[in-house]
Structure 1
Amino acid sequence: MEPADDPEHRRAQRFRVFKAGTIEFSGNAIPCTVRNLSASGAALEINSPLWFPDRFTLAIASDGSQRACHIVWRREKRIGVAFEQLPPA
């Protein structure tokens, strides 16, 4: 288990979900499945072997959300991402 995937090291509790998502960067969009989700990050399942950058926007159509994020771990077809902090209002 990766440290970032260990519940002891997470900043916020994650909840198991099964939502369609899209990894968006530079005009490209790669489909993914959001497997768990929290206020600070998510675990994504990728079926495509295509390369994508360490920083991208995760879009979840079912709730209309878009979050800038960066990869904190990779394992075969799964990646863990942390959401970028929103700038202070």
Structure 2
Amino acid sequence: MSDRRETDGVDGGETGLTPRAGRRRRVIQQGRIVLGPDRSVACEVMDLSAAGARLRVPARIDLPEAFPLAVAADDLRTVAVRLRWRRGEFAGVTFEGAGLYVG
């Protein structure tokens, strides 16, 4: 089940200070952060925009500057992302290249 409310505001949710590049849509989808050939970590994609996403990742997991993100939407998609911010269990990423289609 997906919650598809649109959100406006700033990166990082209610406490962030950097203006967002576009409108975000709340989706709550399962994802996996690929950290190496045999290592990945489960995450939740909390919301999406045309430029990036907000992820929920266990706070104990260190994230690299850039990594592949696999998202289980209507189909399984993998996209290259760049870490923009991290606060506790939440992280903001921007899509590199084509990104994900947000309809």
Quickly name the TM-score band, shorter chain normalised.
Answer: 0.7 to 0.9
Q: Deviations over 1:34-55 (max 9, x none)?
A: 0001111000001261223111
- Superposition misfits of 4+ residues, deviation over 3 angstroms: none
Question: Which structure has more helix as a fraction of its residues?
Answer: 1
Do the aligned partners of residues 37 and 11 (structure 1) sit closer, same or farther apart at CA in structure 2, a change above 3 Å counting? same
Quick one: distance in 1 between partners of 2:94 and 2:17?
13
Output the TM-score relative to the length of structure 2.
0.71
| Aligned: 1:64 with 2:60 | no
CA RMSD of aligned residues (A): 1.5
Query: How many aligned positions are there?
Result: 82
The 10-residue stretch of structure 1 (46-55 or 71-80) with the greater mean CA deviation from structure 2 = 46-55
Residues 1-89 of structure 1: matches in 2 within 5 Å? 1-4=15-18, 9-27=19-37, 28-47=39-58, 49-62=60-73, 63-86=75-98
Q: Which runs of 5+ in 2 are unaligned?
A: 1-14, 99-103
Q: Which runs of 5+ in 1 are unaligned?
A: none
Q: Is the 8 A contact 2:67 2:82 kept in 1?
A: yes
Task: Identify if the C-alpha distance between structure 1 residues 10 and 48 changes in structure 2 by more than 3 Å, giving closer, same or farther.
Answer: closer
TM-score when normalising by structure 1: 0.81
Counterpart of 1:12 in structure 2: which amino acid? G
